[in-house]
């Protein structure tokens, strides 16, 4: 029942957002020309809305009313340019409605949620690809994604410290532990032990943290507030880097020996295989980064495209078919949210297991 309500709420909410963005067409040309211009305009606005939905933001928008006013709350803007500057995004120095902001005699402008240094007129110099070439200060703002990361971190701390305290009183799980314990056992028995072996306990803390962290972020990403943390390649990059660093610094001599001087391989082939093996150590975290980013971003794009298509085609077939397809894709995204947390954790455990595996014992046993 809750899942059905959540799906219905999501669909209606995003439909309202798209409707607020599109508005009503005002062209007065002939029927064929008007239809074409309206469709082109709706397509362009749909693309812009999807892009805006996927971007991070310096304020948290809960909804958009019928007049196009954003309802939400501001977030702290913090950046460094000849000193640190901090203010709320809705203050007089804030970046509201794309206006130029003056801070200590310098001018700044927010363009696609990035802060650029500019002049009093807000001039942005664009390159041939349409990207601003203006100087960018060091942005340390508490954006929407950063806020969600903090909230998830606090939520995990509260849940798992409470779970640990409950086990001091009784070995029988109570409260949230009833839901968390099966997932923890699953990560241990189905991910850590099969891929790492008897050394799994050293890495359980990281594997559990990354599993629940990604899972909670993915689930929050299904909410209709534009929360797209795991669809941000910067986030997936740092998660992949953590796995890479743990794998690299936990690796034993057997692991490095199989990379730099593979046993049982002819010497000429060793020199050929060496750069390939070294490159392989980098492609593993790259695959982790792209897999999570691409899958979560694709889900958002598909859902938003299907909803926006209702306003592009504007007929009863689209009004029936696209909401149904959106519901199906949204339910699939719930599965993907769990699946991507599992895949990232499983691949991390696999890479760690390859690094700590003791190959020499196998060779001795074979002889």
The model's pTM is 0.79
Q: Please give the pLDDT value at position 129.
A: 80
Angle between helices 267-313 and 253-260 (to 10 degrees): 100
CB-based contact 307:15 (threshold 8 Å)? yes
Distances (CA, A) of 126 to 111, 121, 329: 11, 15, 37
Please give the pLDDT value at position 232: 87
Paired tokens of 44 = 């362009």
DSSP state letters, 146-179: HHHHHHHHHHHHHHHHHHHHHHHH-SS--TTHHH
Give residue 365's pLDDT. Answer: 44
Strand order in the sheet with 76-80: 84-88, 76-80, 138-139
**pLDDT at residue 340, rounded to an integer:** 93
pLDDT at 187: 95
Domain extents for the chain?
76-141, 145-366
CA-based diameter of the chain, in Å? 87
DSSP 119: -
Could you list the mean pLDDT of each consecutive 10-residue stretch along the chain, which spans 367 residues? 42 42 38 54 71 77 70 85 85 68 84 85 83 88 91 93 85 82 93 92 94 93 80 91 93 83 79 84 91 87 80 75 84 90 95 82 46
SS3 259: helix
């Amino acid at each position: 029942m809750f899942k059905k309500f959540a799906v219905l709420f999501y669909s209606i909410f995003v439909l309202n957002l798209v409707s607020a963005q599109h508005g009503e067409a005002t062209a007065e040309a002939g029927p064929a020309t008007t239809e074409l211009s309206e469709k082109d305009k709706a397509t362009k606005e749909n693309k812009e809305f999807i892009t805006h939905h996927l971007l991070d933001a310096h304020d948290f928008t809960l909804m958009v009313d019928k007049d196009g006013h954003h309802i939400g709350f501001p977030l702290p803007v913090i950046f460094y340019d000849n000193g640190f500057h901090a203010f709320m995004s809705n203050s007089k120095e804030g970046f509201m409605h794309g206006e130029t902001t003056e801070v200590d005699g310098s001018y700044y402008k927010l363009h696609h949620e990035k802060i650029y240094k500019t002049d009093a007129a807000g001039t942005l110099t664009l390159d041939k690809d349409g990207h601003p070439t203006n100087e960018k200060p060091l942005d340390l703002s508490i954006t929407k994604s950063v806020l969600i990361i903090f909230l998830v971190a606090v939520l995990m701390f509260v849940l798992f410290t409470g779970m640990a305290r409950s086990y001091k009183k009784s070995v029988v799980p109570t409260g949230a532990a009833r839901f968390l314990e099966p997932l923890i056992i699953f990560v241990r028995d189905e991910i850590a032990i099969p891929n790492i072996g008897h050394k799994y306990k050293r890495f359980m803390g990281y594997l559990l943290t990354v599993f629940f962290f990604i899972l909670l972020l993915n689930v929050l990403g299904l909410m209709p507030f534009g929360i797209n943390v795991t669809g941000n390649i910067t986030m997936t990059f740092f998660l992949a880097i953590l796995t890479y660093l743990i794998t690299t610094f936990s690796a034993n001599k057997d692991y490095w020996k199989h990379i730099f001087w593979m046993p049982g391989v002819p010497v000429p082939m060793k020199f050929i295989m060496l750069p390939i093996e070294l490159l392989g150590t980098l492609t593993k975290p790259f695959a982790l980064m792209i897999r999570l980013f691409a899958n979560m971003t694709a889900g958002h794009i598909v859902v938003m495209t299907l909803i926006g298509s209702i306003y592009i085609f504007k007929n009863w077939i689209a009004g029936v078919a696209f909401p149904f397809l959106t519901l199906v894709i949204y339910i699939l995204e719930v599965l993907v949210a769990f699946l991507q947390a599992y895949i990232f954790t499983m691949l991390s455990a696999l890479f760690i297991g390859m690094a700590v595996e003791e190959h020499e014992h196998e060779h001795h046993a074979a002889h």
